[in-house]
Amino acid sequence: MLTLQDVLAALGVVLNGIPQMIYAMSFGFLAGPTAIAFIIGAAGMVAYGTVMPISMQAETIALAGTMGRSVRERLSIVLFSGILMAILGAFGLLRHIIDFAGDSVIFGMKVGVGIILARVAFEMVKANRLVGIISTAVALVVWALSQNLVYVIVSSVVASSVVAYIKNKGPIGGIESEKFKFSLHKPMLNFNMVRATLALVCLTIGANIAFGGITAGMSGAEANIDGLTVYSGLASVGSAMFGGAPVEAIISATGAAPNPMWAGVLMMGLFALILITGLLPKIARFVPMQSIAGFLFVLGALVTVPINAWLAFGGATPPEAMAAGVTIVVTALADPFIGLVAGIILRIAAQFFGLSF
């Protein structure tokens, strides 16, 4: 039976996801069809008996949104990456990939992604200085006081949105309300899409293992990462087929709830309801895209980079440390897939030739 704590945890995670869905909408992803992802995710949690829900993550949205040059290309990236992830999960291949790449390279890749997030936040500030600066300032203060990302995203988005509303003397507009209509989107295939798909797969592998493990650890349950990868991959496929956004594992407060599985199911059910009723695009009219800049900066520069840098370099051998460093730089300058490949090649070469500092 669900308790008040279960409900509050579910509502908190929904609140955390709303600005990220608005961010996804700025790249042309549709809110309504994304409800399919949450329905599949809820069914997957029950089928596998896991405590690990899925939702939007700024990292995957930013990667798919910036690497895809059109809405159709972005949807194709999400679709094919979801198919690949479901296959990897079904055959239990994730652990083998992590073992082959090495922890230093995997965590180095996530450091590079943190730098990408911070760069996206900086670009948002340049695009709308007032909203971006207010969002970032509030986010930094709230993070320093609370160390809580839910508080950071809510406070920074609300504060910057209120300022934007006052300045514009009304709703910002920008994102049009959606008509309740599902239509299939034909995928496309080109070199850039293949490269971006592989990059998104690499990022999602790391996120599923890291975020899924953390959420499962909150409840003391075993982390069924392969099961998580199957239903999160299928959820992205179902969403992208009709124009929706990518989803993946998240660090979810529902993991600490008294009934973590059902709290996670409730969270995804509530989010699906918000999306399918068309409520979110109406909310988006009052929330400028740049209002998420502060959250992205804190998530990238103050959370993702330091945590994963410590994991990448802590106790690493010289070859592993060099590989992690190259992975970070190449990921930040190019994308996670090229960064991962560069790190693996250097680690193997360093070990073979006996390279050290």
How confident is the model over 103-144, as pLDDT tens digits? Answer: 899 889 889 888 988 998 999 899 899 999 999 999 999 999
DSSP 3-state assignment of 248?
strand
pLDDT for res 259:
92
pLDDT for res 230:
96
Q: What are phi and psi of 315, to 5 degrees?
A: 75, 10
Full-model pTM: 0.80
Residue 38 bridge partners (DSSP): none
pLDDT for res 135:
94
Residue 278: which region, alpha, beta or left (left: phi > 0; alpha: psi -120 to 50)?
left
**Which residue's structure tokens are 């039976």?**
1
**Which residue's structure tokens are 């990302």?**
149
What spatial distance separates the first Cα and last Cα of the chain, rounded to whole Å? 57
Distance CA 276, CA 200 (A): 26
Could you report the per-residue pLDDT of 211-242, keeping only the tens digit for each? 787 788 778 888 898 999 999 999 999 999 99
pLDDT for res 283:
77
For residue 10, pLDDT over 70 is answered with yes
Indicate the range of 84-98, 169-183, 262-276 predicted with least confidence: 169-183
Is pLDDT larger for residue 261 or for residue 217?
261
